Chain A
Amino acid sequence: MGRAKEKSGPLARRPDNSAFKQQRLPAWSPMLTANTVLPFFYLLSVVCMLLGVWLLLTVQSTQEKKLNYTKHGDCNLCFEMRQNVSNAGQTCSCKVEFSIDRTFKGDVFFYYGLKNFHQNLRRYMDSRDDEQTVGRIKNLKSPSVYCEPFQTVENEVPIAPCGAVANSMFNDSFTLTYHTAKGRDVPVPLLRKGLTWYTDKNIKFRNPKTDNLTLAQVFEGTRPPPFWQKPVYELDPHDPINNGFINEDLIVWMREAAFPNFKKLYGILNRADAPFTNGLPKGNYSIDISYNFPVQYFHGEKEVVLTTLTWFGGQNHFLPIAYLVTSSLILLMAVVLTVAWWKFGKDGKNMKD
């Protein structure tokens, strides 16, 4: 408004004749006409149909075995025992048996699943300290207040890793055994590595700088979360590198699930040796469970899932079916629109002024 125009003369205040100022910018004005909408609908319907069928076939090609072991068989005893908090220190194991009808071809993934466990509660999710788990010494010694009430134990001793998320870490462990047709028991080798996102393992979670100290020395002066039996630097007794904040089980747990029912990766079938080079052969299996995690508090359930994967992920029928439903919806709409257009709009009678 306060522009000072340098021009003078009779037309000094004449506005510029630019396409922008005169609102004459060249433009494309699309319209919803029968010529564009109807073909588009039919085409979209066909595309969705094909996509849905393809996805469905892909999903059908995967195999999955789900076992709810919450109160399964002798696990019921453990379930009962865990109901009492005073027994928390005692170990309890149970065994679940199952069989596979068809060979699980290719990579087989072993998941543990929880139902009705709300990892997505706001206060729960906030109760962690990313600065501590990324290895900041300062936060190791004085964790963020967000970890409250799992920030420190008595006498201001810091908890590492602090917070409700770490404290509630799933601590059942599983041993999968293959019972061959000849009656031989073959332990199924599970890789307990490569379970996490690369970024989590390498960037988001780091141990504090060791400077030639052992992990135990680094974590000196901290306490493990109250529910843990072992300190964080002894989580994996078999692999010393897989300890501290970069323990994969911890990282997997710390990636909070979006919904109360979720499954998390426990291990991947090691296909190095027979008879598992092609995957999981058909036959009878059993899982030895060290039953530690109490679920009765939240009316939860625990399960293990064995599954093969495709490019599309695991056995989730939702998207294929959704695509097929959408496809038929579009087709229905397209037919309705065609009829409407044929009856009313085609001859342009309504369009006359």
Chain B
Amino acid sequence: RKLRANDREYNRSFKYATNAIKTSKYNFFTFLPLNLFEQFQRIANAYFLVLLVLQIIPEISSLSWFTTVVPLVLVLTVTAAKDATDDIVSTFHNISFWICVRFQVWWCLVRLRVRCEPPNNRLDRFIGTLTYGGQKYPLDNEKILLRGCTLRNTEWCYGLVLFAGQESKLMQNCGKSTFKRTSIDRLMNVLVLCIFGFLVFMCTILAIGNYIWEIKNGSNFTVFLPREKDNKEGFSAFLTFWSYIIILNTVVPISLYVSVEIIRLGNSFYIDWDRKMYHSRSDTPAEARTTTLNEELGQIKYVFSDKTGTLTQNIMIFNKCSINGKSYGDVYDYTGQRHDVSEPVDFSFNPLADGRFIFYDHSLVEAVKLENLEVHAFFRLLALCHTVMAEEKKEGELFYQAQSPDEGALVTAARNFGFVFRSRTPDSISIVEMGNERSYELLAILDFNNVRKRMSVIVRSPEGKLSLLCKGADTIIYERLHQSCSKLMDVTTEHLNEFAGEGLRTLALAYKDLDEEYFRQWKQRHHEASISLEDKESQLDELYEEIEKDLLLLGATAIEDKLQDGVPQTIEQLAKADIKIWVLTGDKQETAENIGYSCNLLQEEMNDVFIVSGHSPEEVRQELRNAQNSMKPDATVNSLLFPEEMGKSVNVIKDEVADGEYGLVINGHSLAYALESSMELDFLRTACLCKAVICCRVTPLQKAQVVELVKKYKKAVTLAIGDGANDVSMIKAAHIGVGISGQEGMQAVLSSDYSFAQFRFLQRLLLVHGRWSYLRMCKFLRYFFYKNFTFTFVHIWFAFFCGFSAQTVYDEGFITLYNLMYTALPVLGMSLFDQDVNDVWSFQHPQLYIPGQLNLYFSKKAFFKCAVHSCYSSLVLFLIPYGALQDTVRDDGRDLADYQSFALLTQTCLLFAVTIQLGLEMSYWTAVNTFFVLGSLAMYFAVTFTMYSNGMFLVVPSAFPFIGTARNSLNQPNVWLTIVLTSILCVLPVVTYRFLLIQLCPTINDKVQHARSPTPPPPPRRARIRRTSSRRSGYAFSHAQGYGDLVTSGRFLRRPAVSWSSGFPQVGRTTTGFSPMGRSAGYSPTGRPQNPKVADVEGTSLQMYRTMTDPPL
């Protein structure tokens, strides 16, 4: 690919993609033909078209053309209307999307040429060359910005657009946008094919019957009914076959698909309308962006969740602290009760305070104001020991760029309590201490890493005092404390336990004064170690270890990693519903693990949490196998057999049960091996044995791969939830994608199927909406198949009495309207309103969700049951009217056993039977349902009497031959007794069977419904989940190793937008010889500016911390 800057013509010659992304299908004129073409591609619609053609052939036509045309036109119209609205909506989304990614175009007259790789989806790699002024420069990944990136530390930058629109790496990474179908859809397709098969089979049987009948009887009857053109029996049977295809076509009801669409649409609207999924703070209602996946929400087995922004708000808050044995943060009233609500502390005394920081314990700020030395030392440490960058665009408006939010929270806390970190250079840190500007010389940063779990700085105060300040994981710090603070340790431990118990992330702070001479020596050795070539790391570690000992404890901090509201409860609920939650995050392992604990995913009670972080395939495999073996000690044989099995035909991995509760944490680099085809099954088995799985450091594509893996081998429905552009691939890969419509742009939402503002709404989406949708859809399908089979099978029984002549049992008008009018609304009403238990009970018993995962409500078995039930019902519906009418006359001796009366009686019986069956299915009778049910029956009688009326007959005699049938037979007690009897006989076995099931092996639903009846629903639980865990967090959860190096190298110190020299007055700064060196340092070619040493000034010195004899107030 070649590009030239500002050379439009040249660039255009390549036809690169524009930045617009188009997904709409139709325009105004193409809509009708395209849409019709598309609709007839659907197998069902095509089938009905064929039927219509068949009906036009008079020899075959057993039904009038309108019995097929009316439903077909209706179905096509409804579907077309729906497609049209969908298309309009998606166009609308496109426009809004386009606006938010618009680039600002800068003209610059530079002659640049770029050659680079063609568009691809690799986010971590880029190769290209830039030619400028005859000079070639390499371009790599460091030098490109991806779509969706946010600029930090700078307001603008020059760039050249390389890929746009669909070709951008992000869009390439989105994965293919495939049309999602639900498992019910797929099952339905299979069933429809089976029904086709059955239809052909039945018609063949009936055609054979016709052949035999024609030979035995029909040939004798030709006197009365001569054969057309002297056709032979064989040909007659052939015609009969097609005639029966037409008559029995109602087993594949055309209205099925359109009804399913309507139900899904309705249930999607419920999601849009749900107030309990509306987030008032961001004014965001939930949105069902796809209207075709609802029932799948009730079958989710695996949830793949992003972490940042999805589980957490990604906001850290300094919540509590313990200083010198005194705990701050909780507010007590006079009676010693803990307060939850009180006035926040007023920080107005501090002009540099951050207005967003809120703290409730007034005693801490009083301690600061009273110049309590320990408290001052505590905050001074927080202000000095970190790797945060400060940016001051206007005086007094400080912005911290913290690489980890934890550090940001700590430094912000110090800032508000009067120890404002203001700026740093590679060699110094300048802070404002209670209004006095002071600059500390930064002598060394002993950086964080995963093993050390602590960081230290060595600073020299303006007074010349040399000290080491350290913060880190409490366990690590405690090992390095001086014996003299053992008493303080005990008290602080108590506080730490308390903090950790509340799910807060704790850090211990300690310091130590250094001897000038010792430090000089140490510094020398440090320098030597850092330039040594071999074993540098361990040498440095030893040095750090040496100096970080005999520390003096200052206290501890507790940071709240603000999870979104209700996340632990939601996860607990989902876990109870047997939904497995996998967290896939780009974060580091510690962070992920910590979040896992704080949101209840990982638990202290778990038998073990396996951590897979191998760097080679063998290591990873071994780690996975080990984990497997310890979870299922008896499964070793199994796993040995595995490679052979796997080679050929492992399509589905069954669920296994581990002997305990386990968690799995796997690292991105290990995951790369684990996802290779040779190991993926091992990985999947191990992961599925665990209760919780966390994958950290994963790329967007890996997220999608994990989802695909589960989809491939587990016959389970997956859901992916995320908020960022990096979740898009996963959202598209999963059966259902959910986007959190939050801060991180709209990418995730736009590719999602459902979106809402908060993770906690997921439980309502699944446990309430999903469950109901699934339940309703299944009830609908079961009932729909039942009523159509019953309707159709009667024809088969009648065939034996009418010489297999393809005579229908019912009036043609009834056949046309049965699905459209008489039975459509009641079943739609049921599928839109039915609830087995209400939402409160659904939350109370998350186990109610499990039947959906197991596909219990609608499966091939359930379908078969439906068919058998229909078979029985249709037999009753044929034989009882047959017996009752055969040889019977009216009470005035006139005809009642005629075909028309029989047709009317049978169809009335049928309608009553299926309506009563519907009543049995329905467990939630709203006024609307009742109206629909009774209204449909009333409608039946109204329409029937109208169609059989004199007027209609006299207008078109041939279309309404049933004139008078209703009046003449529905006034007979005989007829009504028959209707009652068929109704009783149709319902009897159903009620008996269900009652027995409830008594003998009640399902969870029955139990809940049983429990529901006597007691009102319990109030929803509001109790906060308290972790009793004694686990404490490691240090700096989202801290990166090596950040300290960057700080001291000065590479990351960017020039603030407003220059200090001009915008920042020198007044008000207690000059201690400090000048904004950092700035110039940032631009110094060496990266090591000469920093004038701060003169030793007397005054408060660090050493004073430790001699606390009299306790603070």
Contact = CB atoms under 8 A, between A and B. Distances in A.
A binds B: yes
Interface of A: 1-2, 10-17, 21-34, 37, 41, 44, 48, 51, 55, 85, 107, 109, 111, 116, 118-125, 127, 129-131, 134, 136, 144, 148-149, 164, 167-168, 195-200, 203-204, 252, 255-265, 268, 294, 297-299, 309-314, 316, 318-319, 322-323, 326, 329-330, 333, 336-337, 340-341, 344-345, 348, 350-353
Given A17-B275, A259-B882, A351-B1010, A118 B217 contact: yes
Interface string B887-907: 111111111111111110000
Contacts of A26: 926-927
B805 A258 contact: no
A314 B902 contact: no
A9 B600 CA distance: 37
Contacts of B228: 123, 148-149
B757 to A, nearest CB: 11
Interface in B249-276: 270, 272-276
Contacts of B713: none
18 contacts: A15-B278, A21-B270, A31-B1009, A32-B995, A48-B984, A118-B217, A118-B221, A124-B225, A134-B957, A136-B957, A164-B224, A164-B225, A168-B224, A203-B953, A257-B897, A268-B893, A298-B220, A337-B996
B634 interface: no
Given A118-B217, A345-B999, A322 B880 contact: yes
Nearest to A145: B58
What 6 A-B pairs have minimum CB-CB distances, sorted nearest first?
Answer: A199-B964, A345-B999, A258-B902, A21-B273, A318-B883, A109-B893
Contact of B833 (A17, A27, A131): A27
A23 B270 contact: yes
B285 A319 contact: no
B1076 interface: no
B278 to A, nearest CB: 5
B223 interface: yes
Given A122-B807, A199-B968, A257-B899, A27 B891 contact: no
Interface class of chain B by DSSP: helix
B807 A125 contact: yes
Contacts of B801: 120, 258-260
Given A197-B895, A319-B981, A345-B999, A118 B973 contact: no
Contacts of B950: 199, 203
Contacts of A197: 894-895, 964, 968
Contacts of A196: 894-895
B283 A11 contact: yes
B988 A167 contact: no
Contact of B961 (A33, A41, A44, A130): A130
B92 interface: yes
Given A1-B272, A120-B801, A144-B958, 20 more contacts: A22-B273, A23-B839, A27-B835, A44-B984, A118-B805, A122-B802, A123-B805, A124-B224, A124-B225, A197-B894, A258-B897, A297-B221, A298-B217, A309-B889, A311-B973, A313-B891, A330-B984, A336-B996, A350-B999, A351-B1010
A336 B992 contact: yes
A15 B274 contact: yes
Nearest to B222: A297
A29 B895 contact: no
Nearest to A327: B984
Given A2-B88, A14-B285, A125 B1000 contact: no
Contact of B996 (A107, A199, A310, A340): A340
Interface of B: 62, 85, 88-89, 92, 217, 220-221, 223-226, 228, 243, 270, 272-276, 278, 280, 283-285, 772, 801-803, 805-807, 833, 835, 838-839, 845, 880, 882-903, 923-929, 950, 953-954, 957-958, 961, 963-964, 967-968, 972-974, 977-978, 981, 984-985, 988, 991-992, 994-996, 998-1002, 1006-1007, 1009-1011, 1013
A204 B950 CA distance: 8
Among B893, B894, B950, B984: residue with most chain A CB under 10 A: B893
Contacts of B278: 13-15
Contacts of B984: 44, 48, 326, 330
B837 to A, nearest CB: 8
Nearest to B1007: A351
B981 A16 contact: no
A120 B802 contact: yes
Contacts of A31: 923, 1009-1010, 1013
A258 B901 contact: yes
Contact of A313 (B62, B926, B974): B974
Contacts of A252: 895
B1006 A351 contact: yes
Among A23, A124, A134, A311: residue with most chain B CB under 10 A: A23
A351 B978 CA distance: 38
Given A122-B802, A329-B988, A130 B1007 contact: no
A261 B886 contact: yes
Contact of A319 (B884, B925, B957): B884
Contacts of A27: 833, 835, 924-926, 929
A333 B974 contact: no
A13 B283 contact: yes
Contact of B964 (A116, A200, A264, A351): A200
A41 B985 CA distance: 12
Contacts of A116: 217
Nearest to A128: B961
Contacts of B884: 316, 318-319, 322
B60 to A, nearest CB: 11
A348 B805 CA distance: 55
Among B224, B927, B1006, B1011: residue with most chain A CB under 10 A: B224
A255 B895 contact: yes
Nearest to B902: A258
A123 to B, nearest CB: 6
Given A28-B925, A265-B889, A195 B894 contact: yes
Among B89, B275, B992: residue with most chain A CB under 10 A: B992
Contacts of B891: 309-313
A33 B923 CA distance: 13
Contact of A330 (B220, B900, B974, B988): B988
Contact of B223 (A119, A297, A345): A297
Given A27-B925, A314-B887, A336-B992, A326 B1011 contact: no
Contacts of B895: 196-197, 252, 255, 264-265
A262 B897 contact: yes
A134 B280 contact: no
A264 B889 CA distance: 9
A192 B883 CA distance: 28
Contacts of B88: 2
A326 B279 CA distance: 58
A297 B219 CA distance: 9
Contacts of B1011: 351, 353
Contact of A258 (B270, B885, B988): B885
B1000 A340 contact: yes
B964 A319 contact: no
Nearest to B930: A28
Contacts of A348: 1010
Contact of B977 (A51, A164, A198, A351): A51
B981 A326 contact: yes
Given A116-B217, A196-B894, A22 B225 contact: no
A197 to B, nearest CB: 5
B999 A340 contact: yes
Nearest to B768: A23
A337 B995 contact: yes
Nearest to A206: B954
B953 A204 contact: yes
A256 B967 contact: no
Contacts of B978: 319
Nearest to A333: B992
Nearest to B1008: A353
Contacts of B85: 1-2
